[in-house]
């Protein structure tokens, strides 16, 4: 890891603690210091410095927002002027920025844990700890530790002397908006196809002669990336898959890659493999780097990529690109009852329907924590978050948009996108084509009928059939692995037949899921502990969250205990 000499403080009341590492670059010019990280059109420190110099002094937040909206890509910036500092993240907060105040002024850092430790911020925020314990992430702008703040998606903060930072959301994803154009499915399919090809083409051009590496699954999103790239004539792509030997994701992935003519590699990932990873120094170092204190760091493909780098399959200058998060943006996360237009409900009932569905879907890592009191508290936090975003109820057919927004701001932009830190940690650039602003702008206007079951998305993919991998290759066809577990699972399922499906699923989660997980998340704990536990873990993310909270002196239920980091 390269650590640069800390630059001199130039902005009076704000100390920028970012270093030239993990993709950050410093630009000096126009009387400004610009810290920049990211990829895309206009996402360049020199361009930003030249544009910011036109302000001839501290900008207004409106001026800063106008500049940021000129940029097309994924980025974070910190601009230091004479007596002022501006910090900003992109529309999905793909690159987080944290800030906090000490006795000598404000501090901005891209690594929240480094900032927290340096300023000694140890007081746990109960509301944030509860949300983290139940979902793996906080709600709205809250962080686990008091005094530590993070920019939200599409937000900027302006620091000037003797004033608290002025914060503004210059962009907000608003799928509840009432001014949606009339929906024409055929026109929408054409627009989505054209937008997709343009976005993928931009990605490939930005990569240039370097290799693009795609973790390829049996689903829609990563298949979209590689098939669209092949349709456009791009060849410098490699793919990989991982999991237990013979798993359905890997089988489908290999067939897709072979049909496209792209190299493919498989990384066997069993429980022992993941146990070694969780016990490694690399894992601990990654947690310190990726910890935003707003979510559990996303477990994706860190040890698998390390293995592929060791084997020479992924060169040091390769760019990583995953399908995050086409399933969300296209509507796959709209679950019942949000997939129906509410009828004959009062305003209060409609609002309760939204927050209640969010609670049931996302705040269920542990069944033992789902008490009426905790539900009331989580729904209070969700309601307050929607109110702060002015996400108010309009026409009933747009209620789903408030539900989508809440997941966008919290689960997607805090937890899921954290996976990009893996690539940075391993020294690689990355791309996120399915979080491009063009996708956000398009899907923001798609009504419920086009999103249910990913209707528009799937119809477009099947109609275009790029590179002929959409007609006869199944999507997410499930198989049970490892093979040794099949007879045991069959006998257990038969024994539960006279009881109930709910009882069977509870039994399966407790005793079999540990061995069946594709990514081996539960391996962070010994099987005996998992099997004997009676708290009702939903899946591996529950155990990862428990371990994460323990690192910060917090019990699995969000209650602070003696801190021992």
Question: Where along the chain do its domains lie?
Answer: 185-330+431-467, 485-551
For residue 29, the model assigns a pLDDT of: 87
For residue 280, the model assigns a pLDDT of: 96
28-32, 414-418, 540-544: lowest mean pLDDT where? 28-32
For residue 1, the model assigns a pLDDT of: 35
For 510-565, write each residue's pLDDT tens digit. 888 888 888 889 999 999 999 999 999 999 999 999 999 999 999 999 999 865 44
Fold of 185-330+431-467: Rossmann fold (3.40.50)
Q: How confident is the model at residue 477 (pLDDT cuts 50, 70, 90)?
A: low
3-class secondary-structure state, position 6? coil
- For residue 409, the 8-state DSSP code is I
Q: How confident is the model at residue 11 (pLDDT cuts 50, 70, 90)?
A: very low
Q: How confident is the model at residue 476 (pLDDT cuts 50, 70, 90)?
A: low
Give the β-pairing of 32-41 and 25-29. antiparallel
CB-CB contact of 137 with 93 (8 Å)? no
Q: How many CB atoms lie within 10 A of CB 21?
A: 15
CB-CB contact of 96 with 76 (8 Å)? yes
For 365-380, write each residue's pLDDT tens digit. 999 999 999 999 999 9
For residue 62, the model assigns a pLDDT of: 97
For 83-107, write each residue's pLDDT tens digit. 999 999 999 999 999 999 999 899 9
Looking at the chain, the whole-number percentage of residues with pLDDT higher than 70 is 96
CA 543 to chain centre: 19
The closest of 326, 534, 125 to 542, measured between CA atoms, is 534
Does residue 325 have a cis bond before it (omega within 30 degrees)? Answer: yes
CA-CA distance, 87 to 79, in Å (whole number)? 6
For residue 4, the model assigns a pLDDT of: 38
Gyration radius (Cα) of the chain, Å: 23
Token output for 243: 């999991």
Contacts of 77 (CB under 8 A, 6+ apart): 34, 35, 36, 37, 45, 48, 68, 86, 87, 88
Token output for 451: 């999103």
Looking at the chain, the whole-number percentage of residues with pLDDT higher than 90 is 82
CA-CA distance, 164 to 160, in Å (whole number)? 8
Mean per-residue pLDDT, 333-355 = 96
- Alpha helix locations (H) across 363-473? 372-388, 399-407, 420-425, 437-443, 448-451, 455-464
For residue 517, the model assigns a pLDDT of: 87
Query: Containing H/E element for 271?
Result: helix 271-278
For 276-302, write each residue's pLDDT tens digit. 999 999 999 999 999 999 999 988 899
The strand order across the sheet containing 155-159 reads: 25-29, 32-41, 72-81, 84-89, 155-159, 166-169
Mean per-residue pLDDT, 40-64 = 91
Mean pLDDT, the chain, whole residue set: 93
In degrees, to the nearest 5, what angle opens at C-alpha 89 toward C-alphas 151 and 287?
70
Contacts of 103 (CB under 8 A, 6+ apart): none
CA-CA distance, 90 to 444, in Å (whole number)? 17
Mean per-residue pLDDT, 349-357 = 98
CB-CB contact of 143 with 294 (8 Å)? yes
- Tell me the DSSP string of 29-85: ETTEEEEEEEEEET--HHHHHHHHHTT-SPPPHHHHHHHHTT-EEEEEEEEEETTEE
pLDDT at 70 over 60: yes
For 259-280, write each residue's pLDDT tens digit. 999 999 999 999 999 999 999 9
For residue 145, the model assigns a pLDDT of: 98
């Amino acid at each position: 890891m390269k650590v640069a000499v800390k630059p001199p403080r130039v902005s009076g009341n704000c100390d920028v603690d970012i270093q030239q590492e993990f993709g950050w670059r410093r630009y000096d010019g126009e009387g400004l210091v610009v810290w920049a990280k990211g990829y895309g059109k206009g996402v360049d420190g020199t361009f930003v410095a030249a544009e910011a110099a036109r302000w001839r002094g501290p900008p207004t937040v409106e001026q800063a927002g106008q500049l940021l909206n000129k940029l097309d890509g994924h980025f974070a910036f910190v601009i230091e002027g004479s007596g002022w500092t501006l910090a900003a993240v992109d529309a999905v907060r793909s690159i987080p920025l944290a800030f906090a105040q000490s006795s000598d002024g404000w501090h901005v850092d891209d690594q929240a844990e480094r900032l927290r430790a340096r300023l000694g911020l140890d007081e746990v925020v109960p509301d944030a700890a509860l949300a983290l314990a139940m979902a793996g992430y906080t709600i709205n702008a809250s962080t686990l530790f008091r005094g530590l703040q993070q920019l939200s998606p599409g937000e900027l903060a302006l620091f000037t002397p003797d004033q608290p930072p002025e914060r503004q959301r210059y962009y907000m994803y608003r799928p509840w908006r009432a001014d949606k154009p009339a929906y024409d499915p055929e026109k929408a399919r054409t627009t989505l196809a054209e937008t997709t090809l343009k976005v993928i083409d931009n990605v490939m051009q930005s990569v240039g002669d370097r290799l693009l590496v795609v973790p390829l699954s049996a689903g829609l999103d990563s298949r979209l990336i590689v098939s669209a790239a092949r349709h456009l004539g791009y060849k410098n792509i490699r793919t990989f898959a991982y999991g237990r030997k013979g798993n359905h994701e890997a089988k489908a992935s290999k067939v897709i890659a072979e049909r496209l003519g792209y190299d493919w590699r498989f990384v066997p990932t069993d429980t022992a493999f993941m146990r070694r990873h969780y016990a490694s120094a690399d894992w601990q170092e990654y947690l310190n780097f990726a910890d935003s204190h707003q979510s559990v760091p996303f477990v994706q493909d860190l040890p698998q990529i390390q293995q592929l780098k060791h084997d020479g399959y992924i060169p040091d200058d390769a760019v990583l690109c995953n399908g995050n998060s086409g399933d969300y943006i296209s509507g796959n996360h709209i679950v019942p009852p949000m997939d129906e237009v509410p009828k004959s409900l009062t305003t209060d009932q409609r609002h309760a329907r939204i927050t209640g569905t969010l609670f049931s879907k996302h705040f269920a890592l542990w069944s033992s924590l789902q008490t009426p009191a905790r539900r009331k508290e989580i729904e209070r936090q969700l309601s307050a978050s929607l109110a702060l975003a002015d996400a108010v109820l309009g026409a009933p057919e747009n209620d789903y948009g408030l539900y989508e927004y809440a997941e966008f701001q919290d689960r997607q932009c805090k937890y899921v996108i954290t996976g990009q830190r893996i690539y940075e940690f391993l020294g690689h650039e990355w791309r996120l084509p399915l979080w491009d602003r063009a996708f956000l702008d398009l899907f923001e206007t798609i009504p419920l009928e086009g999103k249910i079951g990913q209707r528009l998305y799937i119809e477009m993919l099947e109609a275009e059939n790029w590179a002929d991998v959409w007609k006869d290759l199944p999507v997410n066809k499930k198989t049970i692995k490892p093979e040794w577990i099949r007879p045991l699972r069959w006998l257990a399922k038969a024994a539960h037949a006279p009881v109930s499906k709910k009882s069977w699923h509870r039994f399966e989660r407790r005793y079999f899921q540990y061995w069946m997980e594709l990514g081996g998340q539960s391996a962070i704990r010994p099987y005996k502990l998992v099997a004997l536990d009676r708290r009702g873990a939903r899946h591996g993310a529950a155990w990862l969250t428990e371990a994460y909270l323990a690192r910060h002196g917090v019990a699995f239920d969000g209650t602070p205990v003696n801190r021992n980091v």
